[in-house]
Structure 1
Amino acid sequence: MASTKHTLRTPLSRVRGLGSARSGTSHFWHQRLTAVANVPLALAFIAIVVCATGSGYEEALALVRSPLVAILLLLFILSAAYHMRLGMQVIIEDYVHSGAKVAAVIANTFFAVLVAAAAVFAVLKITFGGM
């Protein structure tokens, strides 16, 4: 007897084992992993800001020049920017239904990279004594 099981997947996608978007699971896990990573990194960032509060300009620079602090700041910047890009991409894909969707996803990526690059540049400039 022939199988009466109906599916919406194409034969090629069944062979490849991929979903319709080909990256949904990967996107989901990247978003969750960056969210988990952001918890301790955000706490470290808050602790750094609290330590810098009330200190003078030179003391704040000395704090950021510390290798451990600089590494924590850089990890937070990169993880938060990537998480931000992933989250906004989901929102754009869910709620933008016009031809502007592709442009919005591209603009979102450029914005996240621009924000991350500017923040990384600032931390590196302070860390290596450019200020």
Structure 2
Amino acid sequence: MSARDTGKSASMRTPLANVRRLGAAHAGTSDFFRQRVTALAMALLIIPVAVVVLMLTGRDQAAAAQLLGSPIVAILLALFIVAGCLHMKIGVQVVIEDYVHGEALKLLAIIANNFFSFAVGLASIFAILKLSFGS
């Protein structure tokens, strides 16, 4: 039964969108949810990361490498970096989708955003692993 048959006001959706129940972007709610989850993860991890940063003040390079190389600190930092990079990727992608109007430029910007976010995360995780396992 359609909206016209029930007397309800018809929406501005196409018949195919009504059948599939998808919005215009087809993934908006999942991105919204993922961004909120990564924000919550970063909010929970910011206190331990701040404590680690405060513990680094006044230390020489060897002592800082020793602290950053401990497994608990490495895991905390890695989780914070993964959450931050995912949060950054989703946030920048939303801005690109909203404000870049040319389809080719939008696609190129989203691809560049994905590569940049992955490269930052990979380089950061590599640095943590190198500190954890030694040079």
Q: Which TM-score applies when normalising by structure 2?
A: 0.89
**RMSD between aligned alpha carbons?**
1.5
Matches within 5 A, 1:106-117: 106-117=111-122
What amino acid sits opposite 1:34 in the alignment?
Answer: T
2:43 aligned counterpart, secondary structure: helix
8 Å Cα contact 1:9/1:20 also seen in 2? no
Q: Which residue of 1 aligns with 2:40?
A: 36
| Distance in 1 of aligned mates of 2:42 and 2:8 | 47
Percent identity between the two aligned chains: 46
**Post-superposition CA distance 1:27-85 (Å, at most 9, x none):** 00001111111112222222111101101111111111111100000000100000000
Question: More displaced, 120-129 or 18-27?
Answer: 18-27
Task: Render the CA deviation track for 1:79-101: whole Å, top value 9, x for unaligned.
Answer: 00000000001111111112311
Q: Which amino acid aligns with 1:121?
A: F
Select which of 54, 58, 71 maps to 2:58.
54
Alignment partner, residue 91 of structure 1: 95
SS in 1 for 2:78: helix
- Secondary structure of 2:85 counterpart: helix
Question: Where do 5+ consecutive residues of structure 2 fail to align?
Answer: none
Q: Tell me the CA shift for residue 4 of structure 1.
A: 6.2
- Structure 1 residue runs of 5 or longer lacking an equivalent are none
- 2:98 maps to 1:68: no
72-81 or 49-58, which moves further after superposition? Answer: 49-58
Would you say the 8 A contact 1:38–1:76 is kept in 2?
A: yes
Aligned counterpart, 1:124? 129
Shift of 1:118: 0.3
Cα distance in 2 for partners of 1:113, 1:4 equals 47
